Structure 1
Amino acid sequence: MPEILKVKPTRMELLKLKKRIKLAAKGHKLLKEKQDALIMEFFTIYDEALSLRRELNQKMEEAFESLRMAEIEVSVTKLKEIALGVRPNKEVEIKRRNIMGVPVPLIEAESFKRTPEERGYSFVSTSPRVDIVAQKFEEVLELAVRLAEVEETLQRLAREIEKTKRRVNALEYIIIPRMEATVKFIEQRLDEMERENFFRLKRVKALLEARQED
C-alpha cells in the first residue's frame, strides 16, 4: 500500500488533495504525450543517422581509394606539397533549434565543395586526379558535419526522453498513488469522526432525557 502524506484529516485538506490529484493526472497525461512524441521524433532522426552513417562510410571508402590512385599517379611528395597550399575551409556556425522544447544544435555552413582556385591551387598545375581527391574529401566533410549534428541531437533527445520518463513514472507510481491513499485515509478518518460525534450526541441526548424524567 502506498505511503500517505502527513496532513491533517480535515475536509479542507481533502478538497485540496482532490484538486492536486486532478492537476497531477493532467500533468501526467501531458508528460506522457510529450514522451511519446519525443520517442517518435527520436526514431525518425535515428533512421536518418543510420542512413548518413552508411553514406559517410561509403564516401570515405571512395575518398581513400581516390587518394590511393592519386598517390600512384602524382606521388605522395607532390600531394603533400599541394596539400600545404590548400586554404582552410570556412568556419561553421553552430546555432540552436528546438524539438519539443529540447534545444538541439543547428550547424550552418556554406557548401564545402570548392573549385581548385578556391582551394588555393591551380587546376592547370596539378593532375585532374588531385581534384577528384579534393572533391571526395569535401563530400566526406559535408556528411561528417551533418552526422555530428544529427548524433548530438539524438543524444539530447535520449536524455530528455529519460528525464520525462522518470517524471511520468514518479507521478504514476509514487505521487498520485500517495495522494489517492491519503484521500482514502482522510475520508475514513472523517467517517470515524462523524460516527463518534453521532454516538456522543446520542449519549448526551439520552442523559438529558433521563434528567428531565427525574
Structure 2
Amino acid sequence: MPEILKVKPTRMELLKLKRRVKLAERGHKLLKEKQDALIMEFFTIYDEALNLRKELIQKMGEAFEALRKAQIDVGSLRLKEIAIGVSPNREIKVRTRNVMGVRVPLIEIPEMRRKSGDRGYSFIATTSTVDAAAEKFEEVLELAVRLAEVEEALKRLGREIEKTKRRVNALEYIIIPRMRNTIKFIEQHLDEMERENFFRLKRVKALIEARSQR
C-alpha cells in the first residue's frame, strides 16, 4: 500500500489536504525555478573562475620572469634589501552581495601602488626592472584576490544548489506523492461510507415499507 499521512479520513481533512497539495506544488515550482537559476548563475561564475585562473597563471609567469630580470640587474642581495623596505599593502575589506538569495563575498582591495616612492623604496636606489617586477606582482595579487572572491561565491552557490535540490526532491518524490496518496485513500474511504449508507438507508426503507403493508 502506498505511504499515506496519519490523518482522520474526513471531508474536512480532505479539503485541508487538497489546499496543502496546491501550496506544495506551487512551492515546488518556485524552488525548481530557483534551482535552475542558481545553476545558470553557478556556471556563469564558474566560467569566470576558469578565465581568472588562466590569467593568474599567465601573470605569475610574467611576474617571476620580471623578478628574474630584476635579480640579474641589481643582484639577489640588493633585491632582498629592496623587498624588506616595501611598505605593506593596506588591509582588504570584505563585504557581501546578494546573488539569487545567496550572500557571497565582495572583496574590496585598495588601489595598488604604481610608483616606486609609494612602495616604500627609493626610485634612485633601484632600477626600472625592479619597478616592473613589483608592478607584475601587484597584478598577481589583484587577480588572486578576485579569484578567491569568485571561488568562495562558487562554494556558497554550490551549497545552496544542493540544499535547494534536496527540498525540490523531498517535495517531488516524498511530500506531494504522500499527500496525493492520502487524498486518494480518504476519497475511497468516503465513497465506501456513502455506499454503505446508501444500502443501509435502502434496507431501512424496505423494512418500513414491509411493516406498513402488514
Is the TM value for this pair above 0.5?
Answer: yes
Distance in 1 between residues matched to 2:113 and 2:57, nearest whole Å: 18
Report SS of the residue matched to 1:97: strand
Whether 1:186 aligns to 2:189 is: no
1:19 aligned partner: 19
Q: Is the 8 A contact 2:28 2:172 kept in 1?
A: yes
Report SS of the residue matched to 1:24: helix
Distance in 2 between residues matched to 1:86 and 1:60, nearest whole Å: 19
* Residue 204 of structure 1, CA deviation: 1.2
What's the C-alpha RMSD, in Å, of the aligned pairs?
1.0
Distance in 1 between residues matched to 2:190 and 2:112, nearest whole Å: 74
Report SS of the residue matched to 2:105: strand
Distance in 2 between residues matched to 1:144 and 1:109, nearest whole Å: 11
Report SS of the residue matched to 1:95: strand
2:207 aligned partner: 207
* Residue 130 of structure 1, CA deviation: 0.7
Distance in 2 between residues matched to 1:184 and 1:193, nearest whole Å: 14
Report SS of the residue matched to 1:103: strand
Name which of structure 1's ranges 107-116 and 57-66 shifts more when overlaid on structure 2: 107-116
Distance in 1 between residues matched to 2:42 and 2:81, nearest whole Å: 45
Q: How does 1:80-159 map to 2 (within 5 A)?
A: 80-159=80-159
Distance in 2 between residues matched to 1:2 and 1:146, nearest whole Å: 52
Q: Gaps (5+ residues) in structure 2?
A: none
Q: Is the 8 A contact 1:116 1:123 kept in 2?
A: yes
Task: Name the TM-score, length of structure 2 as normaliser.
Answer: 0.97
Deviations 1:85-109 (A, max 9, x none): 1100011100011011100000112
* Residue 118 of structure 1, CA deviation: 0.9
* Residue 203 of structure 1, CA deviation: 1.1
* Residue 202 of structure 1, CA deviation: 1.0
* Residue 114 of structure 1, CA deviation: 2.6
Report SS of the residue matched to 1:121: coil
Q: Is the 8 A contact 2:109 2:142 kept in 1?
A: no
1:75 aligned partner: 75
2:44 aligned partner: 44
